[in-house]
Amino acid sequence: MLKRLFNLTPAGYKLKALDSKINQNFNATLKFIPQPMLQYLEVYITEHCNLNCKHCAPFSPIAKKSFYSVEIFKNDMERLSLLSNRLLCKLRILGGEPLLHPELEQLLKIARENFPNTSIDLVTNAILLPKQKDSFWQTCKDYDIAITPTKYPIKIDFQTIENKAKQFGVKYKYNNGGEVEKRLFYQPLDLLGTQNPVIMFAKCAWANGCIGLDNGKLYTCPYPRSIKNFNTYFKTNLIVDKRDYIDIYEAKNMDEILRFLAKPIPFCRYCDLNRLTWDNKWERSKKDISEWS
């Protein structure tokens, strides 16, 4: 009761606003501090997808069909495993749609062999899960890979999938807490690149958090990694240069990598976080440039 009354007073509102501001500033500051170890990594093993979501962060609705090569994936995992001394809290294997990769089972095995103690998730839209062979489920069980589907507002027999996971003893949990109504995140691009990169980095929820690996390069976030799909489709030229990523074969050690990931990159100038919106209705993409800009 006292707490409710306090919340309703002008002083209470001011204190709450101050608390939220302090939290925002604290979270922004954290992005500039190198992590003590690599805590989170995502690998996009396909560029394309069999769903077609508006605002898709890796630009999959407009991406050409493309697969992470097994050989490169193996080299990259081995190199990162060596650099990190096998220390990684969470590895998420995703796409596009990762179940479209014809050598997915091999990739899962390679990931586990290089990171024996890491929590590994396979992030999928679930469309192809009912079609997976027993060998897929057995691999997930044997190599301790958790299947983490996102529920989109499309028709999928989740009960049958859950039964299958249970039958094979595979870890299974939904990404959006089992909610059917997937909401869309819209982080617009400024095609002219006029934003202040330091301010955008500080405001960005992905910065130094959604670390992504792509063909030997590590990125602090998904956009510079995936912008090739956007540039190719819309014939734009949002530039990614050597200062936007770190090459894991050139980096001398993990400290150098962690320091790099905690810094704004030139590509941040293309992100307009002032226009970001979180809670948009799920819709299919019309492949229009306005969905990302």
CB contact at 8 A, 135 and 105: yes
Q: Which region, judged by CB under 6 A, interacts with ligand SF4, from 6-14, 130-138, 196-204, 234-242?
A: 196-204
What are the phi and psi torsion angles at 129 (to 5°)?
Answer: -60, -40
Among 92, 107, 224, 263, which residue sits at the site for ligand SF4 (rule: CB under 6 A)?
224
- The DSSP 8-state label assigned to residue 235 in this structure reads T
The stretch near ligand SF4 (CB under 6 A) out of 9-17, 98-106, 250-258, 264-272 is 264-272
Q: Which is nearer to ligand SF4, 77 or 95 (CB)?
A: 95
First CA to last CA distance, the chain: 46
CB atoms within 10 A of CB 154: 13
Cβ at position 221, least distance to ligand SF4 in Å: 3
CA quadruple 217, 218, 224, 230: dihedral sign: positive
SS3 content of the chain, % helix, strand, coil (to 5): 45, 15, 40
Interaction of residue 206 with ligand SF4, rule CB under 6 A:
yes
* Window 37 to 96, contacts with ligand SF4 (CB under 6 A): 49, 51-53, 56, 58, 60-61, 95-96
By C-beta, is 118 or 125 nearer to ligand SF4? 125
Q: Which two tokens stand for residue 289?
A: 């440039």
Whose Cβ is closer to ligand SF4: residue 111's or residue 200's?
A: 200
The answer to whether 74 and 107 are in contact (CB under 8 A) is: no
Figure out which of the listed residues 68, 115, 172, 223 binds ligand SF4, where binding follows CB under 6 A: 223
Q: Catalog residues that contact ligand SF4 under the rule CB under 6 A.
A: 49, 51-53, 56, 58, 60-61, 95-97, 125, 200-201, 204, 206-207, 220-221, 223-224, 265, 267-268, 271
